[in-house]
């Protein structure tokens, strides 16, 4: 056979081989698409029968992006049970985006108090003002445009886009990560696997019922595919779940827990002659910024570090009450020991002026309800107002004076 003929046959064989590969790839893609469609359909069928009825939810796309937005922001780091009463009260006070935009931030924080993570409330207010000023009070529909709004990241942008506008944008929260990781048997830590989880979640989305799919997969993670003791025999993915077949349900997903920092501090309960208590607005950026509080300071470490924290007023008696509050933040275990003093407006005139210059003011205890206190400060109020003072060895209630007035040493 001539070389040219051999080359011709070789070319023909190559073409046939390539065509065969394309056909096989197409068949594989078709099989994967059919598999994804079947999984998505099974999930939606389960949702149609077992999906939760929630106050912010409708079947299909929600007619109010504002309602979706408020609920999704509230649900971040907070349980559904906790959110429901706050959701009702918030919408009663701020029924639409214009009302929220025109509200005083103090009123917004007051309605939010107890939900925690107060940056969410401040960003809600900021975003509402931005939308009214720049978008006529309307939400953009696309994921990319939603991402440009203040306080809206990938999760919230996907939530609004899918739940309010029925767009195929995968929402990836803790529930979705758990469902997708178990379904596909992803054993890497979530910090590493998140891009793959997001891609798989996007591929699994329904082509025609994006809003319902988003609600369905979050419900599945919240009620069936739970972190502990999942109800696998009620799961629409039971026969396809890789983690179940590999006996790795309890090990997947692999979540690396944050190491918490222990902090100890002093809280200063300062009363005047009228028994009014000193409060201030927290000016420090970050944790609890903008909320009402009693003066306090904390340092990293244990109780031995308390001596490093000075008292804000020197010329007065500071009493160690024996009372304390503990609060857990995302990355901090905080303990505050409560110290009390009663100051004299004449003797402590300069201290009072300095306190007022830094934003301090005295208010009656009955007016506390008008100020946006954090959950931490509400704990302080309950503890400071209680009668269970420190008990001495002879069984009598006692208070220990830990810092005397200067006049007592003269």
Catalytic residues: 72
Question: Angle at the Cα of 151 (from 148 to 156), degrees rounded to 5?
Answer: 80
Structure tokens at 146: 């939603």
Rounded to an integer, what distance in angstroms lies between the CA atom of residue 181 and that of residue 147?
A: 26
Assign 281 to helix, strand or coil. strand
Structure tokens at 397: 């209630």
Rounded to an integer, what distance in angstroms lies between the CA atom of residue 207 and that of residue 112?
A: 37
Non-local (6+) Cβ contacts of 62 within 8 A are 56, 68, 163, 164, 211
Alpha helical stretches, state H, 225-374? 242-245, 349-357
Rounded to an integer, what distance in angstroms lies between the CA atom of residue 385 and that of residue 13?
A: 89
- CA-nearest of 252, 167, 245, 180 to 210 is 167
Rounded to an integer, what distance in angstroms lies between the CA atom of residue 168 and that of residue 207?
A: 7
φ, ψ at 326 (rounded to 5°): -120, 140
Quick one: CA dihedral 260, 264, 266, 267, positive or negative?
Answer: positive
Asked, as a colleague might, if the bond just before 278 is cis with ω within 30 of 0, I would say no
Report CA-CA distances (Å) from 369 to 111, 230, 263, 374, 378: 11, 41, 28, 12, 10
Non-local (6+) Cβ contacts of 289 within 8 A are 118, 119, 122, 282, 283
Q: Are 190 and 256 in contact (CB under 8 A)?
A: yes
């Amino acid at each position: 056979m001539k070389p040219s003929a051999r080359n011709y046959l070789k070319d023909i064989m190559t073409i046939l081989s390539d065509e065969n590969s394309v056909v096989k790839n197409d068949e594989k893609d078709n099989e994967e698409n059919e598999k994804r469609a079947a999984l998505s359909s099974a999930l939606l069928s389960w949702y149609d029968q077992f999906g939760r009825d929630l106050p912010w939810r409708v079947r299909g796309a929600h007619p109010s992006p504002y309602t979706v937005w408020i609920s999704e922001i509230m649900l971040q780091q907070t349980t559904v049970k906790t959110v429901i009463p706050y959701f009702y009260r918030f919408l009663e006070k701020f029924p639409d985006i214009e009302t929220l935009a025109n509200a005083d931030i103090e009123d917004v924080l007051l309605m939010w108090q107890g939900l925690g993570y107060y940056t969410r409330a401040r960003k809600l207010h900021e975003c509402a003002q931005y939308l009214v000023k720049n978008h006529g009070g309307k939400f953009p529909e696309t994921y990319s445009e939603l991402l440009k709004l203040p306080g809206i990241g990938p999760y919230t942008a996907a939530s609004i886009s899918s739940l309010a506008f029925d767009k195929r944008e995968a929402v990836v929260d803790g529930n979705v990560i758990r469902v997708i990781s178990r379904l596909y048997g992803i054993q890497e830590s979530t910090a590493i696997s998140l891009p793959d989880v997001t891609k798989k979640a996007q591929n699994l989305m329904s082509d025609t019922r994006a809003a319902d799919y988003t609600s369905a997969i979050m419900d599945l993670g919240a009620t069936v595919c739970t972190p502990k003791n999942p109800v696998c025999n009620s799961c629409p993915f039971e026969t396809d779940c890789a983690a179940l077949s590999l006996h790795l349900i309890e090990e997947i997903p692999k979540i690396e827990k944050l190491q918490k920092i222990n902090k100890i501090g002093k809280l200063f309960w300062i009363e005047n002659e009228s028994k009014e208590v000193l409060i201030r607005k927290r000016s420090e950026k970050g944790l609890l910024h903008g909320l009402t509080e009693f003066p306090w300071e904390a340092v990293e470490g244990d109780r031995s570090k308390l001596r490093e924290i000075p008292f804000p007023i020197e010329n007065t008696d500071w009493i160690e009450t024996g009372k304390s509050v503990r609060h857990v933040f995302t990355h901090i275990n905080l303990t505050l020991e409560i110290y009390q003093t009663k100051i004299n407006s004449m003797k402590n005139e300069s201290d009072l002026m300095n306190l007022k210059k830094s934003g301090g003011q005295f208010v009656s205890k009955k007016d506390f309800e008008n100020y946006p206190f954090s959950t931490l400060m509400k704990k302080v109020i309950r503890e400071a107002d209680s009668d269970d003072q420190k008990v001495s060895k002879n069984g009598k209630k006692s208070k220990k004076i830990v810092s005397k007035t200067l006049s007592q040493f003269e």
